[in-house]
Structure 1
């Protein structure tokens, strides 16, 4: 019987191909994990926008408006007045974009947690839109936790890429910003061959940090999403570098996940 645990000690690179679903699960599990730790007067909630996707044409729509659906009879009558050729139906490429906010009893935003996705990192307009939102958080003096576990796309974290130590470049990273220390960022690398780190989630200056256990989140996503059914015979996309590709192949073969 195939093990129902991921063969990887940390982030499973194959989960990136299923990121919309994985991202949605991470948001829910992270909310639950944080709410179990927070003081009574704080709450973690899920904020949602919709990203309309095109390589360089992405925009964010906040779902604040209710759409009133017309009765079917009215729709049929409208179609009958102007018959046109039968179209091919192609699904619209929209992505729900969610992040977490920790707020106090008055609704003031204390901390924002972003799980980055390819649609934050691919395409110039998408990157610009994300970094504008990022700047709003920083300028407002809000704690910001950015978790980037995907390898697709360009670097968009708040910390300058040029300031990163060499060993932290070109790999998944977590970036934590505290307005109490506005001159620095905390960077936590997420190495492929190691367990994901536990990440501090800053609250108000007088309160101890909450802790986000990233490995537990990924493990829960893997189990509940039934991702043990992934075909590990193929290499992940995007491909790893040659050393990591060989390590991955040896690991999967040693666990019977690859022939």
Structure 2
């Protein structure tokens, strides 16, 4: 079953769904690219690991104030001081560091083993302050200083977008195709909720035929295979919420399809 929306499905951005979407979309990209790039290139799934801190794990969780319940005494009935009973423990949450993994793709030349192109699909942890963003920004800068091409896919409305000079262009979603030979210039595919996800090329070495990715088709495959149509309750508002104008548009679309 194809996705309910013509472009990015905002319900897939929900933290309950996005880790699975991220994993499956990377798998579909590999499945699509690998046969087209053989025998000169191989496509490999790589994993970036980092330790999160409290700011990553407790976003949106209020501070917990621990108070000791004390038994009051009536000073009018006795001149003897009465000690308060021992404080009883209460359960609180602490920011325990956690090792997180994030997958991405690398296209390597078979003969030299050199990384020709890195393909990244951003996650929420990359777009908010913390170790996840620091780790990705460090990797991003390393790529920009190398001969490696970068494809950066941002299908998340929330969080802080990765920096680039866009002459004031703003959009809800972005795909950045950055060729090492053209830096500091790059191709930005900017689109919004109501737009179909644009197709884009995968940059390779000069002279090689570049496959064109239909990310919309791949995302629809993920939606269908994983059965998100049976897991998403379209009667509810998506998380994160839509703007007022987008919410009105989405409501009309969902009602037209009998989902509300």
Query: How large is the Cα RMSD of the aligned pairs?
Result: 2.3
Give the match's secondary structure for 1:99: strand
**Kindly tell me: are residues 209 and 55 of structure 1, through their superposed partners in 2, closer, same or farther at Cα, counting changes over 3 Å?**
farther
Q: Deviations over 1:73-127 (max 9, x none)?
A: xxxxxxxxxxxxxx99x99855320100000112110000000010111124432
1:16 aligns with 2:13: yes
Shift of 1:16: 0.9
Cross-structure match for 2:142: 136
Query: What does 1:139-218 correspond to in 2, within 5 Å?
Result: 139-157=145-163, 159-160=164-165, 163-166=166-169, 169-218=170-219
- Asked whether the 8 Å contact 2:28–2:218 carries over to 1, the reply is yes
Cross-structure match for 1:115: 121
Q: Deviations over 1:191-210 (max 9, x none)?
A: 21122111111000121222
Q: Which runs of 5+ in 2 are unaligned?
A: 58-90
Q: Write the distance in 2 (CA, Å) between the matches of 1:142 and 1:254.
A: 45
Q: Which has the larger radius of gyration?
A: 2
Cross-structure match for 1:237: 239
Q: Deviations over 1:165-187 (max 9, x none)?
A: 43xx1411001111111130100
1:96 aligns with 2:86: no
Cross-structure match for 2:87: none
Give the match's secondary structure for 1:96: strand
- Asked whether the 8 Å contact 2:117–2:203 carries over to 1, the reply is yes
- Asked whether the 8 Å contact 2:116–2:204 carries over to 1, the reply is yes
Tell me the TM-score normalised to structure 2 length: 0.79
Q: Write the distance in 2 (CA, Å) between the matches of 1:95 and 1:10.
A: 29
Q: Write the distance in 1 (CA, Å) between the matches of 2:8 and 2:236.
A: 17
Give the match's secondary structure for 2:187: strand
Cross-structure match for 2:52: 53
**Kindly tell me: are residues 55 and 44 of structure 1, through their superposed partners in 2, closer, same or farther at Cα, counting changes over 3 Å?**
same
Q: Write the distance in 1 (CA, Å) between the matches of 2:149 and 2:183.
A: 10
1:246 aligns with 2:256: no
**Kindly tell me: are residues 215 and 143 of structure 1, through their superposed partners in 2, closer, same or farther at Cα, counting changes over 3 Å?**
same
Shift of 1:57: 5.8
Q: Which runs of 5+ in 1 are unaligned?
A: 59-86
